[in-house]
Amino acid sequence: MLYALNNQPVVPKNQASVLYYLSWFSLISGIMGILYRYFLLGSIVCIGSAIAQKYWKDPRFNWWRLFDIVWVIMMTFLHGLTAFNSTRNILYFSIQLIGILFYILGWVAAMKNYNWIGTLCHAMVHVCANVSIIILYVSPRIES
C-alpha cells in the first residue's frame, strides 16, 4: 500500500533533508512570480513552498503528504494554463517534460530500492519545476 496513511516515514531523514533544503528554492520562485506581476501564481508557489518545507522536514505517509500532492497538482495545472500564452511555452513545457521523466525514473529507482537515486531524481523534479516557472515569469507576455 504505497499511499496508505500509516504515518510511516517516506524516506530516511538524510534523504529528506536534501528535498527540505531544495524546497526553499520554490520560495524564491514564488517571490519572483510576485515581482514579475504574476501575483496569483507567485502567491500559490509561496504557499506551496511553505507546505513543502513542512512536509519535507519530516515526510510521512499522512494527510500532509496528500495536501502537498494536491497543491502541486493545482500549481502545475495553473502554471501550465498560463504557459500556453507565454512566448517561451515550448521551453517551459520541455523542462516540465524533463521533470516528468525524472519523476518516473525516481519512482522506478525507489521501487528497486535505489533510494538515493530515487531521492536525487525527485530533487531534479523540483529543480525542473522551479526553473520552468522562473522562465515563465520572466518571459515577455503575449498581448491579446
pLDDT per 10-residue tile (average), the chain, 144 residues: 75 95 96 97 98 96 93 97 94 98 97 96 98 96 71
Assigned domain for 92 exists: yes
Q: Could you list the residue range(s) of the whole structural domain that residue 105 is in?
A: 13-138
Q: Given this model, what pLDDT does residue 144 score?
A: 60
Residues 30/46, Cβ–Cβ less than 8 Å: yes
Assigned domain for 7 exists: no
Assigned domain for 39 exists: yes
What's the rounded Cα separation, in Å, for the pair 128 and 138? 16
Assigned domain for 3 exists: no
Nearest to 130 by CA among 46, 69, 70, 58: 46
- Nearest-10 crossing angle of helices 63-83, 115-138: 40
Assigned domain for 72 exists: yes
Assigned domain for 57 exists: yes
Helix and strand numbers (H, E) in the chain are 5, 0
Q: Given this model, what pLDDT does residue 1 score?
A: 46
Residues 29/134, Cβ–Cβ less than 8 Å: yes
Assigned domain for 50 exists: yes
Enter the DSSP assignment of 10.
S
> How many domains is the chain partitioned into structurally?
1
Assigned domain for 130 exists: yes
